[in-house]
Amino acid sequence: MSQRLVTRRIFVRDTAVMAAGVAAGVSLGVAPRTIVAAGATDVPAEVKGTRNYNPNMEYRRLGKTGLWVSAVCLGGHWKRVDKVIKLQGAMDPYRGSDSSADMEALRKNRDEVVGRCVEVGINCIDFAGDAEPEMYCSVLKDRRDKFYLAYSHPASELRVPENCTAKRLVELFEAGLKRCNLEYADIWRLMAMERGGKHSQAEVDAMVEALDVARKKGLCRFTGFSTHDRKWAKMLIETYPDVMQMLCTPYTANSKVLPEDSLFESLVKQDVGLLGIKPFASNSIFQGDGSPVGPHVEEDDKRARMAIRYILGNPAITAPIPGMITAHQVDNVVKAVQEHREFGVEEQAELERMGKEMWARLPPDYQWLKQWEYV
């Protein structure tokens, strides 16, 4: 049976199951359970039935989508991949490399990382670059049914003015699925401009219509968006709850919940799942350079785990999505998921020191991330 037919069957089956589960919770007038810890004994059937279920992984409900995703998912970009691959040319985190040898080496690297994700129970991949969808789909092969795929292709979306009509957005999305040999994406999360508030109302209308049309055509099961604009994100999920089913936005080890007018108030009220990008603040949290060997590996592994533990301490966050480049990094974040969430006095002080160092090390093109200290 072809891969495309298999994925269509999965689409129909899983969408029906998720819809039934969400409807049951709403009809009973109770808040749905949103977190099932690693090693839990009272695991609901819908969680055991999630893709790539592993009892040693924690799973969290991605808001109104009803999808149960691993507490850490595989994020986009392959920054610092030059530390594990000997490159012939330059590797752009969005577009990849012009060298076929580099792209083949990257494909092998992605195959290794994806394989390790399968082994440990990670079940969601978020695409965020122009070369990523095709690269990941080329290594998934018969593992497509192990993952929920959150699709985004910046060159085909709202950051390019010529794309900003509903018809064009849907056409480009459908063309992208065909390039990846995908029947559908589990989530289409349109990538807006970093400062989303710069979009005109006409562009917002086009985005909303495109997401609605794509879902009705069966090109995706669920819809959402990504932005670096907190107030604009809050407006969208409150104004367009039917299509803004999930959000992809920054949340770091230095982020905190605002006491009033927080984005999380709207996320919880509208039952919107959040995949958190930049958990390591563009790697500024680390002392080393990302190499798999070196004097800072042990310390940086610890810092990564502390960041993941801190972020998962916010139950309104579904999952951080770091861009992992080695199987060791996958194992390390899984270890973080399984560690305790509470921070003692000494650990809290250490976390605060890390946060100050992280802000101080932010590169010039990531200074905007400081705007996400209070969310």
- For residue 137, is pLDDT > 70? yes
- For residue 196, is pLDDT > 70? no
- For residue 23, is pLDDT > 70? no
pLDDT for res 6? 41
Residue 136 CA to residue 144 CA, distance in Å, equals: 10
CB atoms within 10 A of CB 160: 12
pLDDT digits (tens, 9 = 90+) for 306-346: 999 999 999 999 999 999 999 999 999 999 999 999 999 99
Q: Please name the helix (run of DSSP H) or strand (run of DSSP E) that holds residue 47, with its range, or none.
A: helix 45-48
Query: What mean pLDDT is reported for the chain?
Result: 89
Tell which residue, 279, 295, 321, has the closest CA to residue 72. Answer: 321
In a 3-state reduction of DSSP, which class is residue 211?
Answer: helix
- For residue 203, is pLDDT > 60? yes
pLDDT digits (tens, 9 = 90+) for 70-124: 999 999 877 788 888 889 988 887 788 899 999 999 999 999 999 999 999 999 9
Residue 311 CA to residue 24 CA, distance in Å, equals: 29
- For residue 5, is pLDDT > 60? no
- For residue 32, is pLDDT > 70? no
Whether 210 and 224 have beta carbons less than 8 Å apart is answered as no
pLDDT for res 12? 46
3-state secondary structure 53-116: CCCCCCEEECECCCCEEECCCECCCCCCHHHCCCCCCCCECCCECCCHHHHHHHHHHHHHHHHH
Whether 93 and 129 have beta carbons less than 8 Å apart is answered as yes
Domain architecture of the chain: domains with CATH: 3-372 (3.20.20.100)
- For residue 149, is pLDDT > 80? yes
Residue 253 CA to residue 191 CA, distance in Å, equals: 23
> Where residue 20 falls among pLDDT bands split at 50, 70, 90?
very low
As given in the structure block, the two tokens for residue 273 are: 């799942």
| Sign of the dihedral defined by the CA atoms of residues 365, 102, 283, 53, in that order | positive
pLDDT for res 194? 61
Question: Burial level of 106, CB count in 10 A (0-12/13-18/19+)?
Answer: buried
Residue 291 CA to residue 83 CA, distance in Å, equals: 5
End-to-end, the C-alpha distance of the chain in Å comes to: 47
One-letter amino acid of 287: Q
Best mean pLDDT range from 156-165, 170-179, 184-193, 289-298: 170-179
> Where residue 42 falls among pLDDT bands split at 50, 70, 90?
very high
Q: Locate the DSSP E strands across the chain.
A: 35-36, 59-61, 68-70, 124-126, 148-151, 185-191, 220-226, 246-250, 273-277, 319-320
pLDDT for res 356? 96
pLDDT digits (tens, 9 = 90+) for 239-258: 999 999 999 999 999 999 99
Rg (CA), the chain: 20
The owner of tokens 């982020």 is: 255
- For residue 8, is pLDDT > 70? no
Overall average pLDDT of the 218-236 stretch: 94
In a 3-state reduction of DSSP, which class is residue 133?
Answer: helix
- For residue 17, is pLDDT > 90? no
pTM, to two decimals = 0.90
Overall average pLDDT of the 291-297 stretch: 86
pLDDT for res 132? 87
Residue 210 CA to residue 243 CA, distance in Å, equals: 10
In a 3-state reduction of DSSP, which class is residue 149?
Answer: strand
